[in-house]
Amino acid sequence: MKTTPEHDERIAKMTFASVYPHYITKVVSKGRTKEELHQVIEWLTNFDDKKLQELIEEKVTFETFFKKAKLNPNAHLITGVICGYRIEEIENPLTKQVRYLDKLVDELAKGRKMEKIIRIA
């Protein structure tokens, strides 16, 4: 399934700070912790808690968020469907990276074991 340029642009301009509380709510309501959420975000982006807080306070867009990230070399192992899109078929690199994050949050909320989520090759 192809994303549209409008869809990709909307994702790029969305702020991480606007979505982050939803990530917390989702994982905590399913019995996981904020610390576990931060662990998967750090695995994907290499942002520690301090850097993550700075980015939230700066209200960076997803475009800036992922430009500053050092994406995990195993991120390509994140596959499957999220929000109606098959991740491996998404052509726009930024949209794919945002969906990687969405997929990790989803797996955490569904109770998947941490070692499976962070895809230790």
Total-model pTM: 0.94
pLDDT of residue 83: 83
CB 40 within 8 A of CB 117: yes
Could you tell me the mean pLDDT of each successive run of 10 residues in the chain, 121 residues long?
86 97 98 97 98 98 98 95 91 96 97 90 56
pLDDT of residue 1: 61
- Does 1.10.8.290 match the CATH number of domain 5-117? yes
pLDDT of residue 119: 84
* Domain map (residue ranges) of the chain: 5-117
Q: What contacts 95, CB < 8 A, 6 or more positions away?
A: 3, 7, 8, 11, 12
pLDDT of residue 3: 81
pLDDT of residue 105: 97
pLDDT of residue 13: 97
